[in-house]
Amino acid sequence: MSTTVEPTPVTTDEPEPASRLFGAIAIFESAEKLLSAATALKQSGLTKLEAHTPYPVHGIDEALRIAPTRLPWVVLAGALIGAGGAFAMQHWMNGIDYPFLISGKPLMSIPSSIPVTFEVAILLAAFAAFFGVLLFNGLPRLAHPLFRTQVFRRVTSDQFALVAESDDPRFDELRFGVITTEHGATSVESIEQDVSSVAMPTLLKAAGVSLVALALIPPVLIAQARATTSEKPRIHPIQDMDFQAKFKAQTTSPFFDDGRAMRLQISGTVARGDMPIDPAISTGYTSDAPPGPESSQWLDSIPISPTIELMARGRERFNIFCAACHGRGGDGDGIVTVRALELQQGTWVKPISLHDRSVRDQPDGRLFNTITNGVRKMPGYASQIKPEDRWAIVLYLRALQSSRNAQPADVPADVLETLRETN
């Protein structure tokens, strides 16, 4: 790659102050004359001899003894890397890293991976061919001593040129001129190479340095973002449906006549889940407001009949809603708790073990109230769990507690007998 971007200077008349002889160029009117001259020069022992033609002249490769290019091997390598890479990529991505089950189709099937494998193989082979041309031809090379000669400018249109380079040990400008003229060259001249200004112009250098510096900014920002943590939500340029235009509860809205965003309950109707039931069943206490912790107004027993179905329901609801924090056994070791403690998340309060005496001694109504309204950091579950299910959870919780703390007196005599025999 050259150091200047200008392809060709327009004039060659003025002698450059610092230039050296690059070689000599001979111009021919036809390809036959070029071929015979090239053959003769090659026989004279010139090694750095090159022909320049407006179209590929056949026979020139033999005349100049150009070895066959290795480009086909590069292209083959590109195709093999493309095919192998694409095949492995599909199987790893859809079969191993993220097994993707679609309508029971096999995770790794050869037929369905053929199209992408084929396309990527062609793509990489084409890249290999294209960039191989640039690489093997030493392109791009925007400045070349040839571009400084006036005669060369017709070589890409309708004339033919032979160029011998001066750093060839057998190079002799006079001899070159004689041989080419013998074979019909219309003009022969020497080519000077400008070696005066090899340094890059200051303006270009400054522009290059600032471009590189600017180009480094995004990767540095990305690297910084990846290496540090941030409390802010991630940048959200396209908001999709995450931020919809909406009216929140308890706000005003110009849409309705009464100016409220929320609708009032229509008189004479009952909202879903709001069917009036015995207040004691829906609250867990008999007073008008939640009583104190030691009050006797908490219900002391479960107000619905404790069946085995209710127990199963309670276990299911407990494992869904409670176990995430309290753990399946109620020990306060649910996965959320474990994770929060691992992260040393400062605001997390580890739930107390449900087998603790302070919990065991609470009346059923108070446990129910805790599920309904929450306690300390625990939120209320009234909106998520129906009253019957909350009682079912209390029932199951009592069974959990009994599994650890039961006394022989709590067990019916015949069951106790069986237990003694089996243990």
Partner 1 sequence: MSAVPIPTRTPSESLRPPLVDGEQTLSSITETVCSIVERPQTPRAWYIAFAISSSLTLMLFGLIGYLIATGIGVWGNNSPVFWGWPIVNFVFWVGIGHAGTLISAILFLFRQQWRTSINRFAEAMTIFAVTCAGIFPAIHVGRVWLVYWLAPYPNQMAMWPNFRSPLLWDVFAVSTYATVSLLFWYLGMIPDLATLRDRATSRVRQFAYGLFALGWTGSARQWHVLEKAYLLLAALATPLVLSVHTIVSFDFAVSHVPGWHTTIFPPYFVAGAVFSGFAMVVTLLVPARHLFGLKDLITPRHLDVMCRIILATSCMVGYAYATEFFTAWYSGNRFEQFAFLNRMQGPYAWAYWTMVTCNVLIPQLYWFKRFRTSPWLMVGVAICVNIGMWFERFVITVTSLSRDFLPSSWDYFRPTAVDVLMFVGSFGLFFTLFLLFCRFLPMVAMAEVKSVLPAPSVSES
Q: Which of residues 264-283 bind partner 1 (CB under 8 A)?
A: none
d(CA 342, CA 357): 27
CB of 16 to partner 1, least distance (A): 19
- Choosing from 134, 178, 198, 209, the residue that interacts with partner 1 (CB under 8 A) is 134
Task: Give the max Cα distance, the chain.
Answer: 129
Stretch that binds partner 1, among 124-132, 187-195, 262-270, 287-295 (CB under 8 A): 124-132
CA 67 to chain centre: 45
- Choosing from 18, 88, 116, 324, the residue that interacts with partner 1 (CB under 8 A) is 116
d(CA 34, CA 298): 113
Helices 110-136, 71-91: crossing angle, 10 deg rounding: 150
208 binds partner 1 (CB under 8 A): no
CB of 177 to partner 1, least distance (A): 20
Site for partner 1 in 33-72 (CB under 8 A): 35, 50-64, 66, 69, 71-72
SS3 213: helix
- Choosing from 20, 105, 386, 404, the residue that interacts with partner 1 (CB under 8 A) is 105
**Conformational region of residue 344, where left means phi above 0, alpha means psi within -120 to 50, and beta covers everything else:** left
Beta bridge partners of 164: 24, 49
CB of 28 to partner 1, least distance (A): 10
Nearer to partner 1, 10 or 249 (CB): 10
Q: From start to end of 151-275, where are the E strands? A: 160-165, 187-194
Site for partner 1 in 147-186 (CB under 8 A): 152-158, 163
Nearer to partner 1, 155 or 385 (CB): 155
- Choosing from 43, 47, 100, 319, the residue that interacts with partner 1 (CB under 8 A) is 100
- Choosing from 129, 200, 281, 340, the residue that interacts with partner 1 (CB under 8 A) is 129
d(CA 395, CA 247): 40
Mask: binding to partner 1, 229-248, rule CB under 8 A, as x and -?
Answer: --------xx-x--------
SS3 401: helix
d(CA 10, CA 7): 10
